[in-house]
Amino acid sequence: MNCVKNKIELEEKGYSILNNLYSIEEISEILSCIKNVAQDRDSFMKTGDLYAIRQLIKNIPELKTHLFNKKITQLISNLSQSEYFLTKAIYFDKPSTSNWFVPYHQDLSISVENKSETENYTNWTYKKGQYGVQPPIKILQNTITIRIHLDDTNKNNGALKVIPKSHARGIINIATKDYSTDNEDICEVKKGGVMLMKPLLLHASNRTTNNIQRRVIHLEFCDQELAKPLKWLEYYNSN
């Protein structure tokens, strides 16, 4: 797989889209794993219908075989000379009972095993049994998000909206709306395709208007260790 173009786009624009990384059969296997697991744990989030699963790999470990196919493993290897490892995995959907919009934001929080006040780690949270914290910016700059699309995704069913190159500005003050949406892109992705994204890229999504599912698996990879004694909550090395 030649992903030089995508690597350049990711660095320059903050995102890139690749199609055909998963076959229809592979997508069906992924969805079957999710459907067939018991959904009565805190990590399974519902308002009538299931709309998110946190700590996805920990809750459904059999997904590892299906998610890390040859193409995605090669893609991760080609994106950097450093050894990237998984740090977060979430499943998202937008069913009718949980069909809200998400305003523009940056992904600034990482998940860690335990809370320990550590220099340059700020804005601690505790939600659904897991600790989140904002790490030093170097960790966010060295994180790559891969969003695996389990459905065709377009502007009518919640495709991400992004502000290209906004990741290069560092941490942006969202409260003062210190950004412009004049050059906004809508990231339409085919079923079986992926979107690469920098977590500091400003991104948002609208409500679904066509009643078609928008199921996505959101994976975050990093090549940075955390300051001791902090540890990644969902560390997994696919190599």
Q: Are 222 and 234 in contact (CB under 8 A)?
A: no
Q: Does 97 have pLDDT greater than 70?
A: no
Q: What is the mean pLDDT of residues 180-205?
A: 97
Domain for residue 122, yes or no?
no
**What CATH number does residue 217 fall under?**
2.60.120.620
Over residues 135-185, the pLDDT tens digits come to 999 999 999 999 999 999 999 999 999 999 999 999 999 988 889 999 999
Confidence of residue 82 (pLDDT cuts 50, 70, 90): confident
Domain for residue 20, yes or no?
yes
Q: Are 163 and 115 in contact (CB under 8 A)?
A: no
Q: Which residue has the higher pLDDT, 13 or 48?
A: 13
SS3 161: strand
Residue type, 113: E
Q: What is the mean pLDDT of residues 47-58?
A: 82
Domain for residue 208, yes or no?
yes
Q: How far is CA 199 from CA 106, 166, 169, 221, in A?
A: 6, 10, 12, 10
Strands 185-187 and 203-205: unpaired
> Is it true that the peptide bond before 164 is cis, omega within 30 degrees of 0?
no
Domain for residue 126, yes or no?
no
Confidence of residue 96 (pLDDT cuts 50, 70, 90): low
What's the structural domain count of the chain? 1
- Structural domain boundaries, residue 36: 4-110+139-222
Residue partners of 150: CB distance under 8 A and separation at least 6: 27, 30, 31, 191, 215, 216, 217
Q: Using a CB cutoff of 8 Å and minimum separation of 24, what contacts does 119-125 make?
A: 119/227, 120/227, 121/227, 121/230
Q: What is the mean pLDDT of residues 71-86?
A: 90
Domain for residue 76, yes or no?
yes
For residue 63, what pLDDT is reported? 96
For residue 2, what pLDDT is reported? 66
For residue 38, what pLDDT is reported? 63
What are residue 100's phi and psi, to 5 degrees? -105, 165
Q: Does 98 have pLDDT greater than 80?
A: no
Confidence of residue 87 (pLDDT cuts 50, 70, 90): very high
Domain for residue 239, yes or no?
no
Q: Are 17 and 152 in contact (CB under 8 A)?
A: no
Domain for residue 211, yes or no?
yes
Confidence of residue 48 (pLDDT cuts 50, 70, 90): low
Domain for residue 124, yes or no?
no
Distance CA 40, CA 37 (A): 9
For residue 128, what pLDDT is reported? 81
Strands 110-112 and 130-134: antiparallel
